[in-house]
Amino acid sequence: MTNVLIAWYGHESNSFSRNRTDFSLLTSQGCWEGEEIITQFTDTPSYLGGMINCANENNINIIPTFAVENAGPILTDECHELVLAKIIKYIKQNKECIDGICLGLHGAGVSESIDDLETDVLRAIRRVVGDDIPITVTLDLHGNLTQEMAGLTQGLFGVKENPHTDYAVSGYEAMSTLINAIEHGVRAKTSVKPIPVLMPISQNIDGELNTVKEYFNTYKADHELLDAAFFHGFPYADGPHVSSSVFVTAYENSEYHAEVLANYLIERKERLSSIYRVEPEEAIDLALTTLSNEKEGYVVLNESSDNPGGGAPGDGTQLLREMLERDIPGSAFGYIYDPQAVQVALKAGVGNRVSVDLGGKIEESHFHGEPISLIDAVVCSISEGHYQATTPLMKGIHGTYGPTVCLRSGNVEIVVCSVQNQTYDDTPFVTAGVDLSQKRLVALKSSQHFKAFYKDRAITTIEVNTNGVNSNDLTSFYYKNIRRPIYPLDKF
């Protein structure tokens, strides 16, 4: 029987945070080892779910190793070395029977001394297995890609959608191509072409980026390519590989097709990246205007600049402060990260009142806002924070927000959690006992992924761009190491 080793090591690393991600923070949302991976991810809409399903359909024996994924400040070297050692341990133990390796990586990983984490992982694996064992890799749409990364594999396969509803498709394609390489000796090649454009985190459900996505999909089908993708890149890293890019995976002529698609994008660079900013006060005014014409339902305000899914702390207070000052009936905020405030509420108990400094504790100089002094807030609920995801991105996967409470101050119900994560769906509210059907104004911290759940449930969504390490105003960051010129920082 054919044996394929699988692993998932994904980290989206934000260089503009002053903090660092250690192993405890990296694994705060969970990690899985050995057979736990099969139990957790089989039949889920994840990279690993796609890999496992494809392997099962083709009677492939899976060797599960280690799986972890998160976003945050750059990794400590110690953390990176620990995760890499776990994966390498399994590879060495099974070296004599491995026929191929299928990896879930990200593409925007950075540690204290390594600015291209994925290439470092692939180099380390190649040092153990040599050049003959085929390796295929799945990557995130926000990866910052390099040709060396591609050259160490027999195929890169990328998420195309934002929100990322196609993880499993990417995993399936990577496993399918790997099986073909193992069983038939047919090996693909990936070519990468950087595009001199920095892009804020943007959806491609509609608009210009949807047009580009559909063009790539048609081009891929017409030319019978294994994969072709426009990667938006991750602009909150600062390294020589940071930019958007094109990659093409094919059995022949991958470089030619990548060049054609790169030229298509460069001609449209002004339409790919835009700078915009909607402050909390304006966002709430826009929401109230919308609600004045709607008797039922709620508007979602997403604070993209403090999205933990892009490495922000998730404890920013700028939008929440404005909501508390406006005190609009039917308001809910879900959620803010503050384990200290949670502990105060736990000690007080449900039904009692607490006074606490909420949020604004992580980034230096209170870049995401000063702590909010909540006075006599009511503890409405207490929960252990366990949930099963309802978002299409990871439906059915179990996770935890850690100890979770709901505090009510005036007309605003605030969900406070102990584990950093972005809000993908309704689970922070459900966990805290907040009934969204009774709300009019719902705020959360996420850039685009929340839309997979809320786009058909909310009246509309309004992006709020406060100060933060995930700000959509890319001109507000001081880049030291990226390639120049690059649009929109430079005009050319």
The predicted-structure confidence for 174-227, as pLDDT tens digits, reads as follows 999 999 999 999 999 999 999 999 999 999 998 999 999 999 999 999 999 999
Instruction: Give the amino acid at 143.
Output: G
Domains of the chain: 3-272 (3.40.50.2300), 280-472 (no CATH)
Report pTM: 0.95
> Is it the case that residue 274 has pLDDT exceeding 90?
no
Predicted pLDDT of residue 491? 85
Q: Residue 273 — pLDDT band, cuts 50, 70, 90?
A: confident
- Write out pLDDT tens, residues 472-484: 989 889 999 999 9
Predicted pLDDT of residue 365? 76
Average pLDDT of the residues of the chain: 96
Predicted pLDDT of residue 275? 66
Percent of the chain with pLDDT over 90: 95
Predicted pLDDT of residue 387? 98
Predicted pLDDT of residue 281? 97
- Write out pLDDT tens, residues 336-349: 999 999 999 999 99
Mean pLDDT, residues 390-414 taken together: 97
Which residues have C-beta within 8 Å of that of residue 329, sequence separation ≥ 6? 411, 440
- Write out pLDDT tens, residues 53-111: 999 999 999 999 999 999 999 999 999 999 999 999 999 999 999 999 999 999 999 99
Q: Residue 364 — pLDDT band, cuts 50, 70, 90?
A: confident
- Write out pLDDT tens, residues 284-316: 999 999 999 999 999 999 999 999 999 999 999
- Write out pLDDT tens, residues 428-452: 999 999 999 999 999 999 999 999 9
